[in-house]
Homo-oligomer: A and B are copies of this chain.
Amino acid sequence: MEDLSNIRIVLVNPLYGGNVGAICRAMANMGLKDLVLVEPAALNLAEARMMAVAADSILKSRREVATVAEAVADCGLVMGTTARGGLYRAHVKTPREWAPRILESAAKGKVALVFGRENSGLTNEELAICTNLIQIPSSPDYPSLNIAQAVMICCYECYVAHGTFVPAEEMSPECPVATREQMFKMWREMLIEIGFMKEEKADHMMLGLRRIFGRAPLTEDDVRILMGVARQTMWKAGQDAE
């Protein structure tokens, strides 16, 4: 169960104590422990405790932080959940499809599953920091799940997959978010510098690059190489300009 305890549940701006409590119970049911809340509302903790039942220890040991970036800074894989499709969301997969990938990452370090607001999900900025996106199969007539239900299904798929999981052969450590974000920042500057994109389109274009680099695990070596590419390109662009 060690791998499972490396899976962190991140809730962005949760509003209802009852949901947070139900999520603690769902996590305990499926062998998870690590709960981080990003800027929670003033939660009704009595309601949270009532719904957590015997998972009160997860509620007590929750951490509260100010941003998604902070919540996932030490994670390799960051899975965002979304109910919507769309251009840069084409690479969305189901929790069952992602479960082996999540366990592969969790066998080596921290993984985050990020869930958005009860009413409006994750912002595009928050989705951008995610390496991959999860969409839970649901009826087109009413696709929007309660957040505690969405968390349960994702935890359940990890738990079930864990039962039959065989980790892949060892490889170099997966790159943590903080370093990867530095790399994306360098690429953003570089791509503007070389005239590949304009400042006003940059955030949108970067979503595409994030998807490309998010499709498979990025190791620390990979990110070092990508940073080198950006650095060298900027140097060369600066040279040509002279």
Separation of A26 and B136 alpha carbons in the complex (Å):
12
Interface size class of A (residues with CB under 8 A): 20 to 34
The verdict on A139 contacting chain B, using a C-beta distance below 8 Å, is yes
Separation of A94 and B22 alpha carbons in the complex (Å):
22
Q: Are B138 and A159 in contact (CB under 8 A)?
A: yes
Separation of A113 and B54 alpha carbons in the complex (Å):
26
Q: Are A96 and B31 in contact (CB under 8 A)?
A: no
Q: Are A142 and B29 in contact (CB under 8 A)?
A: yes
A 149-176 binary contact with B (CB < 8 Å = 1; else 0): 1001100100110010000000000000
A 133-151 binary contact with B (CB < 8 Å = 1; else 0): 0001111011111101100
Q: Are B29 and A149 in contact (CB under 8 A)?
A: yes
* Identical subunits present: 2
Q: Are A22 and B142 in contact (CB under 8 A)?
A: no
A 8-43 binary contact with B (CB < 8 Å = 1; else 0): 000000000010001001101111000000000000
Which residues of chain B are near A94, meaning CB under 8 Å?
A: 160
Most chain B CB within 10 A, of A29, A31, A159, is at: A29
The verdict on A51 contacting chain B, using a C-beta distance below 8 Å, is yes
Separation of A137 and B158 alpha carbons in the complex (Å):
11
Separation of A9 and B29 alpha carbons in the complex (Å):
22
Which residues of chain B are near A241, meaning CB under 8 Å?
A: none
Minimum CB–CB distance from A91 to chain B (whole Å) comes to 19
Q: Which of B96, B143, B146, B156 contacts A26 (CB 8 A)?
A: B146
Of chain B, the residue at the smallest CB distance from A160 is B137
Q: Are A138 and B30 in contact (CB under 8 A)?
A: yes
Q: Are A22 and B146 in contact (CB under 8 A)?
A: yes
The verdict on A55 contacting chain B, using a C-beta distance below 8 Å, is yes
Which residues of chain B are near A146, meaning CB under 8 Å?
A: 22, 25-26, 51, 53
Which residues of chain B are near A90, meaning CB under 8 Å?
A: none
Q: 6 shortest A-B CB distances, which residue pairs?
A: A28-B142, A31-B139, A29-B138, A149-B152, A29-B145, A137-B160
Residue contacts A-B, CB under 8 angstroms, 14 given: A1-B139, A18-B18, A22-B148, A25-B142, A28-B139, A28-B141, A29-B138, A30-B139, A53-B146, A94-B160, A96-B160, A152-B152, A153-B153, A153-B156
